Amino acid sequence: MAGDLPKQVHLYTEELTLNDKNKEALRNKAVIRFLSEQGGYVKDGIKYVTNYRYNVEKLKDGRLIYLLKPTWLNKGIDFQVMVEKFKDGKDARPSHKDIFEDLKIKKQENKTEYDVLKKIIHKIWLCENPDDVLKTNKLTFGQSHSVELILKSLKWLFIEQDITYWNYDGRGMLKREIDKI
């Protein structure tokens, strides 16, 4: 069986920029890019595995947000959104729970600014570019993650949901949970 063979992993790192104004275009361009990836193969008794890292956003503090493929859950076209030095100085994925907890902290800290942040998140949900939105909105909260990190992570979490839940509401499911906060 191929699972019992020794394996050699190739990690490909690339830049990926998507700034379309609708979810279908974002989803389609991501999927088309993923379809062009080199697949794994077996040769001379060795299983060659291909992994991909797509650098997708740069934060003002220099850290990157990147996509990691394949994932260990769905093992298909799905990806993980990762942030450099996100938890305890290590790269990690901002889970939906992490985002929800961060938003709750921001809401408790300053309800007025949080209400503005919710409107900005709605713009990201509508596929506006986080950098463009951030140019006109200078929100700062003293606790937890930067607004920039949250918005840029949400952009890709929304795209991930649109791909994973293609035949459902995709990004709408995540947005409804955010709206409950």
Q: How many CA atoms within 13 Å lie on the side-chain side of 5?
A: 14
pLDDT in tens, 74-93: 656 789 999 999 999 999 99
Cβ–Cβ < 8 Å for 141, 63:
no
Cβ–Cβ < 8 Å for 20, 127:
yes
pLDDT in tens, 9-37: 999 999 999 999 999 999 999 999 999 99
CA distance 131 to 62: 14
Query: In the structure encoding, which two tokens stand for residue 150, read together?
Result: 């949250």
CA distance 131 to 19: 10
pLDDT of residue 74: 60
Picking from 17, 138, 6, the residue whose alpha carbon sits closest to that of residue 67 is 17
Radius of gyration for the alpha carbons in the chain, expressed in angstroms and rounded: 18
Query: In the structure encoding, which two tokens stand for residue 16, read together?
Result: 């990926």
Picking from 30, 21, 19, the residue whose alpha carbon sits closest to that of residue 54 is 30
10 Å Cβ neighbour count for 43?
8
pTM: 0.92
Predicted confidence band of residue 3 (pLDDT cuts 50, 70, 90): low
Mean pLDDT (the chain, rounded): 92
